[in-house]
Amino acid sequence: MNAFTLALNAVLPMVLLIALGYVLKRTGYLSAEFFNKANQLCFQILLPVSLFNSSRSSQFSSGDTEAIVFGLSATAAVFLAAFFLVPRFEPDNRRRPVWIQAMYRGNFVIYGMSVCVRLLGEECSSLTAILAGFLVPLYNFLAAVALEYFVSQEGGSRTPLLKTLPRVFKNPLLIGPLLGLLCNFLGLHFPTAIDTAFNDLGKIATPFALIALGGKFDFTYARKYLGQVALGNLLRQAVIPAVMTALAAALGFRGYQLGVIMCMFCTPMAVSAFAMSRMMGADDKLASSLIVTTTCVSCLSIFVGAVTLTHLGLI
């Protein structure tokens, strides 16, 4: 019962905040333009500051390094598997890179970090911040590879891979935790007023981002892509998390490190996959459908995963 309650208390607050954003948008209380600006604020300021705070103030262990290496390696492995397997069942080149992103590209920064801290405690904050900082550029680069390779075959708009690299390294979600690590390493401290301002911004980042995420939900195309949505959720929210979590456990990961790995692979498809797919000529409607539905289903998958691992005494 304790495991059940702990998992429920970790997941339910996020569900309620996402639902609040959706209701505020659907009722017209807040406009679509507001949510566009809200997402921009989250990704350019609030979330980078939150990552900065976590990485500058937390202790980093050698075990965390191993967990980060596993997370990045496993992500690359899922990408490669999807890159070669998706074309076997999806004939449309505009949909192939969307499928691939759904398999490996999770919404860890907004969704995963929040549930990790609620479920596993503050001791995982350093690991989640650094892992997020490395995952964001990896996610973006691999997405550019898939989009460039498949969409260009359909005569879509092309963005050379070399041109994506500057954008990857200019990403605030990468810069934030790296600056935090630098401050941590150098032992830099800020005046109380500035430190308080940073901490206050970091505290509102996740709840505000979850509300903004709910405001971007659109179920319009989910029925049209019912078969793809069902398969995508099965793979993203059940098969891949089960395989990767079991592999991590077999390699000896335990406690909050195993919990973070589980949450990383249970997170829904990243919201940024929609904008990137649209920009590069992929099927953005399929991307939107998968983002919305995997976000809903991930609440269940994280809950089941947390209860299972806690029951087995692994976290």
pLDDT at site 237: 94
Identify the residue whose tokens are 């971007």. 216
Position 154 confidence tier, pLDDT thresholds 50, 70, 90: low
Cβ atoms of 274 and 265 closer than 8 Å: no
Length of the chain: 315
- The residue with greater pLDDT, 86 or 274, is 86
**For the ranges 151-155, 223-227, 253-257, 268-272, the one whose mean pLDDT is highest:** 253-257
What mean pLDDT value characterizes the chain? 85
Among 169-183, 199-213, 227-241, 277-291, name the one with the lowest average pLDDT: 169-183
Residue 275 has pLDDT above 80, yes or no: no
Q: What are the structural domains, with CATH classification, of the chain? A: 2-311 (1.20.1530.20)
SS3 217: coil
> pLDDT, tens digit, for every residue of 3-51?
677 777 777 888 888 889 989 999 999 998 998 888 888 888 888 888 8
Identify the residue whose tokens are 């409607």. 285
> pLDDT, tens digit, for every residue of 180-237?
888 888 888 888 899 899 989 888 888 888 888 888 777 777 777 888 889 999 999 9
> Average pLDDT for residues 168-190, to the nearest whole number?
80
> Average pLDDT for residues 296-304, to the nearest whole number?
88
Burial of 260 (0-12, 13-18, 19+ CB in 10 A): buried
The amino acid sitting at 272 is S
pLDDT at site 160: 56
Burial of 273 (0-12, 13-18, 19+ CB in 10 A): buried
Q: What is the pTM of this model?
A: 0.82
What is the spatial distance between Cα 240 and Cα 266, in angstroms, rounded to a whole number?
A: 8
What is the spatial distance between Cα 254 and Cα 305, in angstroms, rounded to a whole number?
A: 14
Cβ atoms of 68 and 130 closer than 8 Å: yes
Residue 244 has pLDDT above 90, yes or no: yes
Position 62 confidence tier, pLDDT thresholds 50, 70, 90: low
Position 114 confidence tier, pLDDT thresholds 50, 70, 90: confident
269 phi and psi angles, rounded to 5 deg: -60, 135
What is the spatial distance between Cα 94 and Cα 283, in angstroms, rounded to a whole number?
A: 5
What is the spatial distance between Cα 144 and Cα 79, in angstroms, rounded to a whole number?
A: 12
Give CA 43 to chain center in angstroms: 12
